Amino acid sequence: MKKILVLCTGNSCRSQLAEGYLRAFAEDKAEIYSAGIETHGVNPKAIQVMKEDGIDISNHTSNHVDEYDHIDFDYVITVCDNAKESCPFFPTKAQKFHHNFPDPAKATGTNEEVMNQFRAVRDEVKAYAEEFVSKHINVDNYAGR
C-alpha cells in the first residue's frame, strides 16, 4: 500500500483539503497523511467547504511534519511554495511533487467572497488529487485524462 504525505505551511487548509480528497479518491489503496512545517489547527472554513462536497474532514488534526519522520513515504506532495522551500529532508525513497495552491486563509472581503475563495481552492485541489490518484495509485485505470 502506498503512503502519501501532503505537506503545507500550517496544515490547516490546503493540505487538509488534499488529504480529504486523496483519501476519497484512493479509497483503501493508499495511506494518506498531512502535516505542516507549523501547526495552525484545521480551519473551520476548510471543514465547511469539504462538507459541501460530501467529504467530512471535521476529525482531521493539524500535525507537525516531525510526527511522521519514522514513516517511509512513497510520495511527498508539497501544496505551497513555503513548504517546498522549507521542506525537511526525508531519509526516504519518496517521490516529491509540488503544486502551489493559493492560500484561502489569506482571502479578504465579505464572508461570501472569502467562502468563494475557499471553494475555488477546494475545486483546484480536488482536480489535482483526482489526477494524482489516477496517475500514481490507480495506474491501471488511468486513461490519460
Q: Which residues are catalytic?
A: 8, 14
CA distance 89 to 145: 33
**What CA–CA distance (Å, rounded) separates 71 from 74?**
9
Residue 60 CB neighbours (<10 A): 20
Q: Are strands 2-8 and 30-36 parallel, antiparallel or unpaired?
A: parallel
Cell numbers for 59: 476529525
b/e per residue, 72-102, with b = 16+ CB within 10 A?
ebbbbbbbbebbbeeeeebebebeebebebe
